[in-house]
Chain A
Amino acid sequence: MKVNLEYLEGKLESLDGEELMKIKDNINCLFQHCIQALGEEHPIRVVNALQTLCALIRGVHQKNKSTSGFDIINMLMGFDKAELCMKNLMESLDSLLCAEGSESLKSLCLKLLLCLVTVTDNISQNTILEYVMINSIFEAILQILSHPPSRREHGYDAVVLLALLVNYRKYESVNPYIVKLSIVDDEATLNGMGLVIAQALSEYNRQYKDKEEEHQSGFFSALTNMVGSMFIADAHEKISVQTNEAILLALYEAVHLNRNFITVLAQSHPEMGLVTTPVSPAPTTPVTPLGTTPPSSDVISSVELPLDADVQTSNLLITFLKYSSIVMQDTKDEHRLHSGKLCLIILTCIAEPMRHRKKAADKNLPCRPLVCAVLDLMVEFIVTHMMKEFPMDLYIRCIQVVHKLLCYQKKCRVRLHYTWRELWSALINLLKFLMSNETVLLAKHNIFTLALMIVNLFNMFITYGDTFLPTPSSYDELYYEIIRMHQSFDNLYSMVLRLSTNAGQWKEAASKVTHALVNIRAIINHFNPKIESYAAVNHISQLSEEQVLEVVRANYDTLTLKLQDGLDQYERYSEQHKEAAFFKELVRSISTNVRRNLAFHTLSQEVLLKEFSTIS
C-alpha cells in the first residue's frame, strides 16, 4: 500500500501542540512499526517505511519548531523507547546502505538521513542526532564512497551528509564523525570523496563556462591552457550560478580534519563533467576495517581512462582553484562572499606547511607546480578586488595564504620558478589603494594590519630571498621594483608616521608599520642617490631598467639591513577560535538548502515504487 505522504505531513502540520500530544501514542506506534518494517524482505514495505519516517520526522518538527529536541524525541518515539528505537533504525539503515541491494533504496536511506540531519536550522540543536552519534553510520558512508558504482549514484548525498554530521556540536562535544574522519587513511575512500567533490565543483565550472559563452561574443572565450585559463579576468558581467556551499564545506572538513586527504588534492583524474559518460577511474578496493590495509589485488584489471585526446587530465586542486577563481570574481552577493571566504579558508589550510609534504615532492612535476597556480590566483584576487566595499577579511586571508606559502618555501628551500614580480607589483598597488582610500577604509577597517602584512611579505623577500628566490637576478628585480615604486612606500611611511605620532586609536598599529618599513626605506635611501648620481655622471635623464639594475648590483655591499624578528612565523589556522560563528552560519544555510531540495525529491518516488512493483 502506498503511503500518502502529503496527507500525513499535512495532517501533522495542521495539528497544534496539544492535539499532537494526544496522538503521541499513535505516532510512537507508527514510528516503531516503520522501524520494524525496515527489516522486512519486501522492498516496497521498506520504501513505505522509509517514506513514512521521513514524513513523521518532518511533520513533527515543522509543528514544533520552538520546542526542545527532547520533546520531539518524546513525540516521535517516546523517551523510554527512544534509545532502542534509534539504535534499531540506525542499524537498519546501516545494513541497507551496506547491502548489495537496490540503489534507489540506498538513495532513499540517505534521503532519510539527510532529512533527519536537516530538520532543524541549527544542526547542533537537533537532539535526535545524539543517537546518530552513538550509532555511527560513518562506515556505511565510507563504503559508499569507496565503491565506484555506489559512489556515482550516492556520492553527493553521502559527502553532504558527512559534512553535516561532522558539524554537529563540533565545538562543544566529541563528535565521533570528526574523530573518525580525521583518521581515515584508506586511499580508495579518500579518492572517492575527492572525486565526488571534484565532480561537483567541475560541474559548477562547466555551467559557468556555458553561461559565460552564452554571454560573450567569443572574443575572450578561448580557455586554452589548464592553468592559464582559470582566471577569467573580465568580471564585467556577473554570471551567477548557484554556488555549492555544502560541497565546499565537505572539502573544507576533509582538508582540515584529514591530513591524508592532502595527497588526494593532487591526485590526477580526468576532467569530470566534460566526459559524457563518466567512467570512474578509481579502483575497486574492498573496504576494510579502519587501520588495516586492503589486500592487494592480484589481478590487474584493465580499467582505462576515458579515451579522448581532448579530455584534459586535472586534479581536485586545479578544479578547486578554477572554482575559487569564479567564485571570487564577484563577492557582493552574500552567498558568494561566504563561498569565497570558505575558498580562502580552505586555501589557508592547504597552505600550512605541515600539510605540504606532498607538494615538496611535486616540484618535479613536468609542468608548473600547483603552488604557482595558487599564487596566480592570489595575485588575481589582489588586483581585482580593490573596491569601495573592501573585502578586508578576504584580503587578510589572501595575504596569509601567500605568507604561508613563502614560509614553507623558505623552510624547505623550494625555489619556485615563479615570476614574483607580478606579486610584488600587485602588493604595491594594494598599498596604493589603501592609502588613497584611507579615510573611507579607516572608518570600517584597521587597514594597518593588512599594510603590515604586505610590508612584511616584502621583508621576507628582502631578508630571506636567498633561500627561495629562483635566481640572483630575481633578487635584483625585487630591489628594482622597490626603488621604482619608492613613492608608494614613502607615502605609506609618512601616513603611518603621522598616525603613530598622533595619539589616535591607530597609534600602535601604525607604529608597527613604521618599524616594519625600516629596511625598505633603507633600500630606497641607499640606492636612490646612487642612481641619481649615476644618471648625472652619465648625463642620462631617464635610466633604463638594465642601468638601474647595474647600479643596484654594484652597490649591494655598502647597504646594511636590519634583521627583523618573526617574519617567517604565523598564526596557525584555528577554526574554533576565529571562525566558529562563520561556520555556524554556513551550516545553518546549508541545512536550509538541503532541506528545501529534499522536500522536492523525497516525495517524488514514483519511479522507485514502479521499480519494486514489477518485482512483486
Chain B
Amino acid sequence: MKFPHLEARSLAVAMGDTVVETAPLKPTSEPTSGPPGNNGGSLLSVITEGVGELSVIDPEVAQKACQEVLEKVKLLHGGVAVSSRGTPLELVNGDGVDSEIRCLDDPPAQIREEEDEMGAAVASGTAKGARRRRQNNSAKQSWLLRLFESKLFDISMAISYLYNSKEPGVQAYIGNRLFCFRNEDVDFYLPQLLNMYIHMDEDVGDAIKPYIVHRCRQSINFSLQCALLLGAYSSDMHISTQRHSRGTKLRKLILSDELKPAHRKRELPSLSPAPDTGLSPSKRTHQRSKSDATASISLSSNLKRTASNPKVENEDEELSSSTESIDNSFSSPVRLAPEREFIKSLMAIGKRLATLPTKEQKTQRLISELSLLNHKLPARVWLPTAGFDHHVVRVPHTQAVVLNSKDKAPYLIYVEVLECENFDTTSVPARIPENRIRSTRSVENLPECGITHEQRAGSFSTVPNYDNDDEAWSVDDIGELQVELPEVHTNSCDNISQFSVDSITSQESKEPVFIAAGDIRRRLSEQLAHTPTAFKRDPEDPSAVALKEPWQEKVRRIREGSPYGHLPNWRLLSVIVKCGDDLRQELLAFQVLKQLQSIWEQERVPLWIKPYKILVISADSGMIEPVVNAVSIHQVKKQSQLSLLDYFLQEHGSYTTEAFLSAQRNFVQSCAGYCLVCYLLQVKDRHNGNILLDAEGHIIHIDFGFILSSSPRNLGFETSAFKLTTEFVDVMGGLDGDMFNYYKMLMLQGLIAARKHMDKVVQIVEIMQQGSQLPCFHGSSTIRNLKERFHMSMTEEQLQLLVEQMVDGSMRSITTKLYDGFQYLTNGIM
C-alpha cells in the first residue's frame, strides 16, 4: 500500500480555501479516496511549487513564522475567529508543510484520514461565513498548523492544545501527532491524557484513543498503567454513568487482552508486516521499525524454544493449560493476569495487616505472608515503578517492614528482579530454591547407589558404612567444616583475639600467653563504636532501622543471601505498598515536582528536589517508590536525641570539613526547592514525620495528601508559606550566614524560572481537575489561586521582596511551631 501523505497533508492545508466546495464533508471510509482528481492535480502543483522554490528551507524564517503563530494562539483560544491581520502567506505556508514532511518522513496512515476530517470540520465550521472570513480562518489554521509542525511544538504544547482547543479537527490532528513524540515524553502526561479521555467530550476521546491502543499493543507495562489509571480516574463518576463510560470500556478492552502485541508468531518467520486488525491505526508509523526490532528478537527466542521443545510448536491454538504456556506470553490467554494477581495479593496483605493491633504483629504477619508469596515467584510479573524491563524473582521477606501509620498498614518491601531486554519476549527465569545453599550433590554424582544395587541384588554383602558425616557432604564442604580446626584459623584474620590464640596453638608452645583484661574490654567498646550510625531496633518503629541502612549495603547484604544474587542482571528494587490511601494527589504532586525539576534544570537553577514515582492502582490503593538512603527527621531526632545541626555534625563531620559543607549545601538547595514546592502547591501537614533527610544532607518532602485547596482538618494551622524552623536555619548557618542568603537567592531564581514556565505547571493541575472529586480541587478557585502564586505581574524586585517576606513570615510563624506541637501531642511525632 502506498500512503500519499503528501497529498493528504496538502489537502488539509489547502482545504480551507480551495477544496472546500468539492471535498466531501464527511470523511470517507476508504482512505485513499480523499483527493478528487482535478483538485489533486492543483494541490500537487502547489506542493511541487513549494518544493521547487524553497528546496532549501531557511530555519530562521520558519522559526520567526512560528513565533508569530504563537502570538496568535491566544486568539484561537477564545474561539473568536476574527483576525485583523489576515495576511495570507501561501509561500511560507507551503514551506512549512514541506519541512514538516521532511522531518516526519513516515506519518501514520491515520493522519491522512483524520486530516480529511479536520479540514472538513474546519470547513464546516466556517463554511457559512463570508469568503473573506473563510480566508482568515484558513490563514489562522495555517498558522496553527505551522506551529504544530514546527520544532518548537512539544508534548506539553500538544497536551495544552488538546485540552483547550474546541476544534475536533485540531484535536484529531494532535491525537495523531502524539505518535511522533518520544514514548517517555508522552508517558509523563499519561494521567492527563487518560483523564481527558474519561471526562472530556467525544472528540478528544476519539483523538486520544488510537494512540493509547497503539501503545498498549506495544507495551504490557503501558497497558497496565492505562488500565489502572482509567479505573482510578473513573471512580469519581457516578456509578451508573461509570459503568457505560468510555473510560470503563477502554479499560475493559485493555484487560480483555485484545490488545496483545500485534506481531503474532505465525507471521513472524516471513517478517512481513502484521495484518491490519483494523483497530491499530499506527501500523505504518515510523515506530514500525521499532516494533520490527522487537519482533525479530522474539522471533529468535521463539525459534530457539521451538527447536528445543517440540511441544510449543502448535502455539496458535489457545493453550489454556498453564504448564505449557508458562513462559510464553503470546499464547497465555490473559497476559496481564499474573501481574494483576501479584498486585492484588500485595494489596490483600495490606488489608489483612490493617486488622492486627500492634506493629510487631503486623511485621511478623507481613514476613510470613511474603514468604508465601515467594513460593509463587519468579513469575511474569514486574514492578511498574521501575524504569527498566525485568521479572520479579524473589521478595526477601525478612527485610520487609511495616511503616509508621496510625490506622492503615503501608509497608515497604524489597524486591529482587532480573533485568531483561524485553519483558514480553524474555522467558521467566527459572526458580532457584531458597534453601539451596550451594550446588548440592546431584543424583548423577552418586554412583555408589547404582553399584550397590547390583551388589545387593547379587549377594547381601555389607558395604562400607555410609553414615560418616564427612562423606555425606560434598567435598567442597569439608574445607568449611574444618574451620573449627586450629590450622585453618589463620584464615579468619578479622579476629584479633583469635589471632593470638592461633599463634600459640600453631607454635605449640607451652609457654602461657597473657592478655590484658582491659584490652578485651577496650576492643569490645571500640568495635561497638565503629557502627554508630545504625539505628537501634524499636518495635514501635520497625522501619527506622531498615531505612537507615545505606542502600548499597542493603543491596550487597540481600544479594549475598539471595539464591539469585550471583546472576549478573540481578537488581534490587523497593516499593511501598499503600492500601487504603488515594494516591492520585500524590501522582499529581509527583508530576508537578517533576515538571518543576525539569524547568529548573533547563533554567540552570541549582535547586534540588526528588520526585518519587507513584503508581496509582485504584482510588484507594497504590505503590510508591521509596526514597533510598533517607529517614524522616522525626526518626533522626528520636533515635539520635540530637538537634538537626548536631546530627549533621555527627554524620558528616565538623563545620569546616568538605563532607559537612557539601551536606550543608545540599540541605540548602533542597530546602529552597521544597520551600517553593510547598508554597506553589500549598503543601500542608508539614511535620517532621513527613520530611526525610537523606545521607547526603538533602531534605525530601513526602506525603502530598494535603495540597492546593485541602488542608488537614481545616484547623487553620500552617498559615505560613512553607515550613522553615529555626533548626533548619541553624543547619544553614544561621540567619546572617552566607548560606542563608544563598538559600533566599535560590528561592528567587527558582520562582522566576517557574514563573517563566507557569503554563507547563498549571496545565498539569488544570487537566486533572476535570471530573475530579479530589479534595485538592475543592472549591472553584484552585487553578486561579495557583496561577496567582506565580505572580506573573510582579517585577523581579517585587518578587525578591515577596521571597523575603515569605521567609520572614515562616521564620516568625508561630503556627509552624504550634503545628509541630500539635503533631507531637496527637501523633507522637517530634
Contacts and interface: CB of A to CB of B under 8 A. Distances in A.
A233 interface: no
Interface hub of B441, B448, B497, B521 (most chain A Cβ within 10 A): B521
B793 interface: no
A290 B442 contact: yes
Contacts of A300: 338, 341-342, 345, 373, 376-377, 379, 381
A176 B443 contact: no
Given A309-B356, A365-B398, A367-B360, A472 B525 contact: yes
B274 interface: no
Interface in B431-479: 431-437, 440-444, 446, 448-449, 452-453, 456-457, 460, 462-469, 472-473, 477
A251 B566 CA distance: 31
A604 interface: no
B467 A575 contact: yes
A467 B433 contact: no
B337 interface: yes
A572 B481 contact: yes
Interface string A162-176: 000000001111111
A133 B365 CA distance: 43
A560 B513 CA distance: 10
A536 interface: no
A562 B326 CA distance: 65
A463 to B, nearest CB: 7
B348 interface: yes
A263 interface: yes
Interface string A294-331: 11111111111101010001000000000000000000
A269 interface: yes
A291 interface: yes
A182 B380 CA distance: 32
B643 interface: no
Interface in A176-198: 176, 178-179, 182-183, 185-188, 190
Contacts of A186: 433
A174 B440 contact: no
A67 interface: no
Contacts of A562: 512-515
Interface residues of A, number: 102
Interface in B313-355: 322-323, 325-327, 332, 337-338, 341-342, 344-345, 348, 352, 355
B475 to A, nearest CB: 14
Interface string A432-476: 000000000000000000000000000000111111010110011
Contact of A185 (B371, B440, B539): B440
B375 interface: yes
B239 interface: no
Nearest to A226: B364
Interface string A129-150: 0100110000000000000000
Interface string A560-593: 1111011111101111100000000000000000
A536 to B, nearest CB: 23
A362 interface: yes
B448 A179 contact: yes
Interface in A101-158: 127, 130, 133-134
A83 B364 CA distance: 54
A257 B441 CA distance: 13
Contacts, number: 269
Interface in A387-404: none
Contact of A134 (B344, B457, B523, B539): B457
Interface residues of B, number: 104
A202 to B, nearest CB: 15
Contacts of B377: 296, 300
B602 to A, nearest CB: 43
A561 B463 contact: no
Given A559-B517, A562-B512, A563-B515, A472 B528 contact: yes
A171 B322 contact: no
B539 A174 contact: no
Contacts of B375: 187-188, 282-283, 285
Contact of B435 (A263, A294, A415, A465): A263
A297 B372 contact: no
Interface string A346-373: 0000000110010001101111000000
Interface of A: 83, 127, 130, 133-134, 170-176, 178-179, 182-183, 185-188, 190, 257, 259-264, 267-270, 281-283, 285-286, 289-291, 293-305, 307, 309, 313, 353-354, 357, 361-362, 364-367, 407, 410-411, 413, 415, 462-467, 469, 471-472, 475-476, 523, 553, 556-563, 565-570, 572-576
6 contacts: A187-B433, A296-B378, A298-B322, A305-B368, A415-B528, A469-B524
The 4 closest A-B CB pairs, nearest first, are A268-B368, A283-B375, A263-B435, A291-B442
Given A182-B472, A366-B367, A566-B486, 17 more contacts: A83-B457, A171-B467, A174-B449, A179-B446, A257-B472, A260-B440, A269-B368, A293-B431, A297-B322, A298-B332, A300-B338, A300-B381, A307-B352, A357-B437, A469-B524, A560-B516, A563-B504
Interface of B: 322-323, 325-327, 332, 337-338, 341-342, 344-345, 348, 352, 355-357, 360, 363-365, 367-369, 371-373, 375-381, 398-399, 401, 428-437, 440-444, 446, 448-449, 452-453, 456-457, 460, 462-469, 472-473, 477, 480-481, 483-486, 492, 494-495, 497-498, 500-501, 504-505, 512-518, 520-521, 523-525, 527-528, 537, 539, 542, 561
